[in-house]
Amino acid sequence: MVDEIAADPSHPRYASLLMRHRLEIAAKKGMLADSALIAHGRGEAFDYLLGERTTSSAMAATRQALACLQRGKKPLLSINGNVAALACDEMLKLAEILRCPIEVNIFYRTERRMEAILAHINERKRVLGLDVTVLGEHPDARIPGLKGPRASCEKRGILDCDVILVPLEDGDRCEALVAMGKTVIVIDLNPLSRSSKKASITVVDELSRVLTNMIAIAEEEGVLAPSPTYDHDKILAQALASMMGNFTEG
Ligand code: PTJ
């Protein structure tokens, strides 16, 4: 049933059903954390309030994020279970455009999940014929200030990068990365989350929409210049106002 609906682009809930279907497939492959669907459901609820569209403040944040990634000395894209399930191809395409590595870095870390996620990414990389370095298999460093397996990372990847994109990130790790002096770019539909507040730049928009926008902008406009007047708190307040506006409009 879901297969049929997810395969029919004329269905009014096509985009949403497709994302759920991708999560179902990823769950069967052992890629997801037990709480992955809870996290997705929370994201869906915020996306409803947003009107399932990219707002002008989200687009401003997307452009600022892209500019910082393009101008970084060592940019890096971090990928977790949900991100690999929902937008693996887009992450790979963006990494190829930026000529930067991707690192698998998961919150609920197990060897089995790491293997399943890395296998999925490497398979999609092969199918798409992209030349992207995929890190995470051989962690040799730790993110300072974090305890447990979620601190594991690669020195040539997350430890040494200067600009990092961490979609759907947890608050602790976001704070730890900021404390390392990195420019931390979060994609999170919840403008009130700790990650959203603590990041250097937060895009309050749905993951696959953000990545599609970034790829299109990079292809059409080339390298962007960051705005010197970019205001993180103002962008978050505008995201929240967009949700409240939709709500009061009924
Ligand atoms: O694969 P792992 O082990 O790294 O775990 C990944 C999850 C996402 C399960 C883990 O990081 C987690 O529990 O995340 P949280 O704390 O639930 O935060 C996820 C945030 O992402 C929430 O604020 C959601 O609103 C938001 N979110 C969920 N789906 C999307 C999203 N934001 C943008 N696009 C989405 N598709």
> Each residue of 81-95: pLDDT tens digit?
999 999 999 999 999
* Separation between Cα atoms, residue 157 and residue 84, nearest integer Å: 17
Domain hosting 104: range is 56-249
For residue 234 the two structure tokens come to 């103002």
What phi, psi does 167 have (nearest 5°)?
-70, 145
Do the strands 152-153 and 201-203 form a parallel or antiparallel pair, or are they unpaired?
A: unpaired
Which CATH number characterizes residue 161's domain?
Answer: 3.40.50.12640
Question: Which residue bears the tokens 């977790």?
Answer: 80
Domain-located, residue 36: no
27 falls within a domain: no
pLDDT for 13 = 85
Q: Which residue has the tokens 């307040």?
A: 237
Q: Is 82 in the pocket of ligand 1 (CB under 6 A)?
A: yes
Task: Give how far Cα 48 sits from Cα of 137, 167, 184, Å.
Answer: 36, 19, 26
Q: Which protein residue's CA is at the shortest distance from atom 30 of ligand 1?
A: 43
- DSSP 8-state code for residue 165: E
**Count of domains for the chain:** 1
Tokens of 23: 């999560």
- Domain membership of residue 1 (yes or no) is no
CA dist 81 → 12, 29, 241 (Å)? 27, 11, 30
Among the atoms of ligand 1, which is closest to the Cα of residue 196?
23
User: Quick check: is 81 in a domain?
Assistant: yes
Residue whose Cα lies nearest atom 9 of ligand 1: it is: 36
Measured CA to CA, the distance from residue 146 to residue 173 in angstroms comes to 7
Q: How many CA atoms within 13 Å lie on the side-chain side of 103?
A: 28
According to the model, what pLDDT value does residue 41 have? 97
Find, among 90, 22, 61, 19, the residue nearest to 230 by Cα: 61
Q: Are 67 and 224 in contact (CB under 8 A)?
A: yes
E strands, the chain, in order: 75-79, 102-104, 134-135, 141-142, 152-153, 163-167, 183-187, 201-203
Residue nearest to atom 27 of ligand 1 (CA): 43
Pocket flag, ligand 1, residue 40 (CB < 6 Å): yes
Is residue 227, in this structure, part of any structural domain at all? yes
What distance in angstroms lies between residue 98's CA and the mean position of ligand 1's atoms? 24
Span from the CA of 38 to the centroid of ligand 1 (angstroms): 8
Residue 110, domain member (yes or no): yes
Ligand 1 centroid to residue 39 C-alpha, Å: 5
Q: Is 193 in the pocket of ligand 1 (CB under 6 A)?
A: yes
Ligand 1 centroid to Cα of residue 189, in Å, is: 9
- Residue in the block written with tokens 């092969």: 126
User: What three-state secondary structure class fits 76?
Assistant: strand
- Residue 91 domain-assigned (yes or no): yes
Give distance in angstroms: CA of 213 to centre of ligand 1.
Answer: 20
Cβ 217 vs Cβ 66: under 8 Å: yes
Q: Is 189 in the pocket of ligand 1 (CB under 6 A)?
A: yes
The reply to whether 77 falls in a domain is: yes
**What residues of the chain score a pLDDT lower than 50?**
1-2, 250
Q: What is the pLDDT of residue 6?
A: 59
User: Ligand 1 centroid vs 167 CA: distance in angstroms?
Assistant: 8
**What pTM, to 2 d.p., does this model score?**
0.95
Indicate whether residue 75 lines ligand 1 (CB < 6 A): no
